[in-house]
Structure 1
Amino acid sequence: MSSAEPAGTRRSRREQKPSRAGRDLKAAIGVGVGLGVVIVATLLVKKESFLVVVAAAIGVGVWEMRHALTQQGIRAPLVPAVVGSVAMLWAAYVHGPGGLVLAWCLTAAAVVIWRAAGPLDGAARDVLGGVLITAYPALLAGFAVMLLAAEDGVGRVFVFLIITVCSDVGGYAAGVLLGKHPMAPTISPKKSWEGFGGSVLLCVIGGALTVRLLLEHPWWVGVLLGVAVAVAATIGDLMESLIKRDLRIKDMSNVLPGHGGIMDRLDSLVVVAPMVWAVLTLLAPQAL
């Protein structure tokens, strides 16, 4: 009996084969372009509409985190976490750091009160899980909203997004082409030191250009910001990988073909946001 396969079957298998980075590259690029169009359009038309996009993404991210935690029997209160997360973003946009911190404290209190109405068994785990999902991603995302709230907020958000994308693209390209030395093989086997070098290089270039051209601040601020973003984005990726490995899941969900879940795309962004806000606040303050 012949072991040869029909040409159509072989072609189908080749088409379904994922890239070396483990993604369905065509789907990932298509979804990425679509998300980019939405983000750019909302920022250019009316920046408050971008706030709605962020709130929707974070709401889904909170739901994904909550669902992932159920794999270990942790049932974090969902309603106060989602409602509180939206309130935190609004408070960050209107009232700045003080509003963000106050809203997070009130959200954490609401999580405790909501869970206290249920049975005591597992209450401590559920409360801690609820506080976790209000901090990661919602509290961290509040720093991106504070970037938006500035007078030159659209430019600051573009700087934040472009440099973070540079980290992802630089790390992906260098990792696929040159990656030989794993950075954290037990957490993320595909993440390499060569990929990290690619992230740093492209982030520095992207930072120098965007800070100078979009914010009209010295290029060296962008270089420092680029290095900080590459480090923060890498930490964010590793954090997400560690959480998923501990929970024994591959992706947070499957809402984004080729990417997984919303949190699989927000992992580096939410960790980078506080870093960008801090560096730009200190070294590139907005004009009075």
Structure 2
Amino acid sequence: MTADPLSERPARVPRAGRNLPAAIGVGVLLLVVVGASLGYSAVPFVVFAAVAVGAALWELRTAFARRDIRIPIVPLLVGSTGIIVSSYVSGAEALMVAFLITVVGCVVWRLVDGGGPAAVRDSAATTFAVTYLPFMAGFVMLMLADPQGRVRVLLFILLAVANDVGGYVAGVLFGRHPLAPTVSPKKSWEGLAGSFVLAIVVGVVGATWGLDASPWLGVALGVVAPLTATVGDLAESLMKRDLELKDMGSLLPGHGGVLDRLDSMLLTAPFVYLILSVAV
């Protein structure tokens, strides 16, 4: 009896390299949670952001430990929460003060635990962690504190979704030319073009209907968001390559870890905040 040749064929691997049904399901669930928190009041979203950043910090700590880099997680989590809450409550000055206090507190905590070259290396990694995650997330809280804050944050999140969806669809359908083959082989120039198209559409609709602003503001947001998101995504890919990791975690099926979901948004937040602060 001969074997069925179809049963011996290897399973087809999706071109995007992810579990698409799981990614869609988790993505929709996250959007529902974000929408529900923003729809009720700003406070639930602040709590949600603090938890998400805390989870991402934990993933970063675990990843750094692969290279024997130790970052003090307790003061880091406490300081991260302080940065996010104070940014929303008291504004940009509080963001900077909380950031500096967190960096100093974490460095002192690490030095008390032991000095030497390892302490210098760990302190530098800790400063990077504070800057990369809670400090960047603080700009989302600054947006949220605006009178139109919930609309601004929702537009920011939808721009991130448009960047991912537009890039994914265009990359799968038309992707032929790698964007950065040595860093992220699955990213293509065609995918980046798709990110621009969908992000500009979302930006124009959000600016005109949500913020009652000029459609040119939406165009500016739609151009800037994919640029910064792509740089943020490629930067995390470089870090994962150096740490020999595929994903930063596994909390979000189809996406990887929380940090894998936040990487493109973190670098985008300050730019969206600045554009909206100047133009609206």
Shorter-chain TM band: over 0.9
After TM superposition, give the deviation of residue 20 of structure 1 in Å: 1.1
State the aligned residue count: 279
Residue 120 of structure 1: aligned partner: 115
Residues 201-216 of structure 1 mapped to structure 2, 5 A cutoff: 201-216=197-212
Residue 241 of structure 1: aligned partner: 237
Residue 27 of structure 2: aligned partner: 32
Residue 105 of structure 1: aligned partner: 100
Pair 6,232 (structure 1): closer, same or farther in 2 beyond 3 Å? closer
SS of equivalent residue, structure 1 residue 249: coil
Among 193, 197, 200, the residue aligned to 1:197: 193
Residues 1-288 of structure 1 mapped to structure 2, 5 A cutoff: 2-4=2-4, 14=11, 17-121=12-116, 122-284=118-280
Output the amino acid matched with 2:4: A
Q: Deviations over 1:135-184 (max 9, x none)?
A: 11110000011111111111101110111111111111111111111111
Output the amino acid matched with 1:29: I
Output the amino acid matched with 1:36: L
> Partners of 1:89 and 1:230 in 2: how far apart?
24
> Partners of 2:188 and 2:144 in 1: how far apart?
33
> Partners of 2:72 and 2:5 in 1: how far apart?
52
SS of equivalent residue, structure 2 residue 66: helix
Gaps of at least 5 residues in structure 2 are: none
> Partners of 2:248 and 2:77 in 1: how far apart?
17
Output the amino acid matched with 1:51: V
**RMSD of Structure 2 on Structure 1 (CA):** 1.5
After TM superposition, give the deviation of residue 5 of structure 1 in Å: 6.5
Gaps of at least 5 residues in structure 1 are: none
> Partners of 1:144 and 1:64 in 2: how far apart?
21
Output the amino acid matched with 1:112: V
Q: Deviations over 1:1-40 (max 9, x none)?
A: 7443686x87xx74xx542100000111111111111110
Output the amino acid matched with 2:64: L
TM-score of the aligned structures, taking structure 1 as reference length? 0.93
Equivalent pair of 1:66/1:129 in contact (CA under 8 Å): no
Aligned-pair identity in percent equals 44
After TM superposition, give the deviation of residue 271 of structure 1 in Å: 1.1
Output the amino acid matched with 1:72: R
